[in-house]
Structure 1
Amino acid sequence: MSDHRSMPVPDGLEGERLDAAIARLFGLSRTRAADLIAEGNVLVDGATAAKSDRVSAGAWLDVTLPPPPSAPAPRPEPVPGMTLVYEDADIVVVDKPTGVVAHPTVGWTGPTVLDGLLAAGVTVATSGAAERQGIVHRLDANTTGLMVVAKSEVAYSVLKRAFKERTVHKTYHALVQGHPDPLRGTIDAPIDRHPSGDGRFAVVSGGRPSVTHYDTLEAFRAASLLEIDLETGRTHQIRVHMSAIRHPCVGDLLYGADPTLAQRLGVRRQWLHAVRLSFEHPTEHRPVEFESPYPEDLDKALEILRAET
């Protein structure tokens, strides 16, 4: 929005060139002042004037100043530890580190996958809400591993439908407390927001149908390493379901994990990693599969447990 100013020429500017007077009055360069005059944005006693005209003290100036230039949007910062596993014209697969969310959310000031992609020069699909463009599924901030993001509009549409129809295969590894009984099983229990309203989710009668399949890969004295396949993709699903059967993910203090065990293993978050992701490529219609190794903190916890057995 332009800014209109009206004032008399001060005594101290008597006899100055008009462009010099405007420059001094408004803190502009002589060139910018001359441009304003040429554009007809400066009137002297109600009439246009030339930049070289001399001004008289007391003459009335009407000046229309342009709006200040808007500050450029801050450039997204690279996300340390986030790697691009695969990229083509339609999709990009990232290996997400801990402490990173998929897209901007209310109250989150930390790094996001979208920021990391933009900083790396990756363009994503514009479909979806503005703050989550290209995002077809998410991982919790402190869950690491594989995420696919849509780059093309057709990929966004096809992948959103694939996740909804459960044709995307998501495999996680989780280190949980104790030993699930049976060692292999299915948890079929509805999930919704916890009645406390504190941000947790819980098994709630009438919640959204949620199905988790698990299998024990390795058993330790105090914990078990599980392979988990999700049939549904609810928020915090694995964490809620494992807590519900009294085997929370190691380090997951929000869902009842033992802080002493977490501290002993050097785990400062839930031990949960999206280790494998497979689906049909949205435009090439071929099966694709990606795998991710354990991050250092999760690997170290397993080393400690194996040394104790």
Structure 2
Amino acid sequence: MSTYNYEVTEEQAKKRIDKLLAEQLEEVSRSQIQLWIEQGHVTVNSKEVKANYKCQAGDNIQWSIPETEPLQVEAENIPLHILYEDADVLVVNKPRGVVVHPSAGHETGTLVNALLHHCNDLSGINGIERPGIVHRIDKDTSGLLVVAKNDYAHIHLSKQLSEKRVERKYEAIVHGAIPHEKGLVEAPIGRDPKDRQRMAVTEKGKPAITHFRVIERFPDYTHIECALETGRTHQIRVHMKYIGYPLLGDPKYGPRKTWDTNGQILHAKKLGFLHPRKKEWMEFETELPEYFTEVLEQIKKTY
């Protein structure tokens, strides 16, 4: 069982312990953390607390990750495009149309199913359905993901994500000609109160920050690069819709009359992080996939 320590800062004082840990371990759900607390796997100053405990500056939080039960998700022989792999991490280029981890309606054919066939030494922090998964991208978004092969790597990568130290850059095509060369969207994202299947900019949402710059502009479309400071669900899709430039082909957040592209034109092109054990900065970049370049060519031919 792995044990970790964290000291509460002045800025974090008075926060609930379950909320604070959820912010530090960005891809571990708050409900999972509450279960750890209930089971006695989390202590403050060596004493067990409840999930609603208000942290004090200088508190020493210690949590132990319980041993996970044997993985029940089926390993499947699905090809993987791996850019890098060692004993701690694996960087993979996820193709469009592949779901990251099993869920209702997507029990097989996911990236996790493929990873389990490739290697069985994945971190267990996120349970039997999401082994190794530190961060996610949508089914119809392609691109780079880092996978943790053990709990040590997972904790360190999650901390980098929560502290905004992971570099994540995407390329996208949006509706409309963005007049300025670059911009910043800082707007909280949460569940859409009118539709729980969608996300939206809402006062009760979690902080979300997206930077963007124009790569190429057309009369009715713009090719952009987006850099994420935070990693909220559907963040780029929601933020670009919010400022009036929804992603081309986006069936959830785009206009009714958009291109029939089988999903949004969005690719996670660049990824950078500090290796959890080597403490070396690592950067990876992919070429734009064929579906993306084909749409770009069609747009260029139109004008």
Q: Which bin holds the TM-score, normalised by the shorter protein?
A: 0.7 to 0.9
Which residue does the alignment assign to 1:21? none
The alignment yields a C-alpha RMSD, in angstroms, of 1.8
SS in 1 for 2:76: coil
For residue 122 of structure 1, report the CA deviation from its aligned partner: 5.1
Which residue does the alignment assign to 2:284? 290
Pick from 118, 133, 138 the counterpart of residue 131 of structure 2: 133
2-structure distance, mates of 1:110, 1:75: 7
For residue 206 of structure 1, report the CA deviation from its aligned partner: 2.3
Question: Contact 1:100 / 1:110 at 8 angstroms: preserved in 2?
Answer: no
For residue 220 of structure 1, report the CA deviation from its aligned partner: 1.6
Which residue does the alignment assign to 2:12? none
SS in 2 for 1:199: strand
Pick from 82, 91, 103 the counterpart of residue 84 of structure 1: 82
2-structure distance, mates of 1:95, 1:122: 19
2-structure distance, mates of 1:222, 1:231: 28
TM-score by structure 2 length? 0.73
For residue 197 of structure 1, report the CA deviation from its aligned partner: 3.0
2:232 corresponds to 1:234: yes
For residue 181 of structure 1, report the CA deviation from its aligned partner: 3.7
2-structure distance, mates of 1:110, 1:130: 13
SS in 1 for 2:83: strand
2-structure distance, mates of 1:163, 1:129: 19
* 2:295 aligned partner, one-letter code: A
- The runs of 5 or more residues in structure 2 that have no matched partner are 1-71
Which residue does the alignment assign to 2:210? 212
Pick from 132, 149, 152 the counterpart of residue 151 of structure 1: 149
Question: Contact 2:74 / 2:108 at 8 angstroms: preserved in 1?
Answer: no
2-structure distance, mates of 1:87, 1:278: 14
For residue 257 of structure 1, report the CA deviation from its aligned partner: 3.0
2-structure distance, mates of 1:125, 1:198: 30
For residue 171 of structure 1, report the CA deviation from its aligned partner: 0.2
2-structure distance, mates of 1:280, 1:187: 26
Pick from 93, 96, 102 the counterpart of residue 95 of structure 1: 93
For residue 98 of structure 1, report the CA deviation from its aligned partner: 1.4
2-structure distance, mates of 1:79, 1:273: 21
2-structure distance, mates of 1:300, 1:145: 16
1-structure distance, mates of 2:73, 2:157: 30
Per mean C-alpha deviation after superposition, the further-off stretch among 189-198 and 238-247 is 189-198
SS in 1 for 2:298: helix
2-structure distance, mates of 1:142, 1:299: 15
Pick from 253, 256, 259 the counterpart of residue 262 of structure 1: 259
Which residue does the alignment assign to 1:280? 274
* 2:198 aligned partner, one-letter code: R
Per mean C-alpha deviation after superposition, the further-off stretch among 113-122 and 279-288 is 113-122
2:246 corresponds to 1:248: yes
For residue 75 of structure 1, report the CA deviation from its aligned partner: 4.6
Question: Contact 1:250 / 1:258 at 8 angstroms: preserved in 2?
Answer: no
Equivalences, count: 233
* 2:252 aligned partner, one-letter code: L
For residue 164 of structure 1, report the CA deviation from its aligned partner: 0.9
2-structure distance, mates of 1:278, 1:240: 23
Task: Report matched runs for 1:1-309 at 5 Å.
Answer: 75-80=74-79, 82-121=80-119, 123-259=121-257, 261-263=258-260, 267-309=261-303
What do residues 108-148 of structure 1 show as CA deviations (whole Å, max 9, x unaligned)? Answer: 23522111111223531223322112111000111100000
- Structure 1 residue ranges, 4+ long, deviating more than 3 angstroms after superposition: none
1-structure distance, mates of 2:230, 2:290: 28
For residue 183 of structure 1, report the CA deviation from its aligned partner: 3.0
- The runs of 5 or more residues in structure 1 that have no matched partner are 1-72
Question: Contact 2:84 / 2:91 at 8 angstroms: preserved in 1?
Answer: yes
1-structure distance, mates of 2:195, 2:283: 37
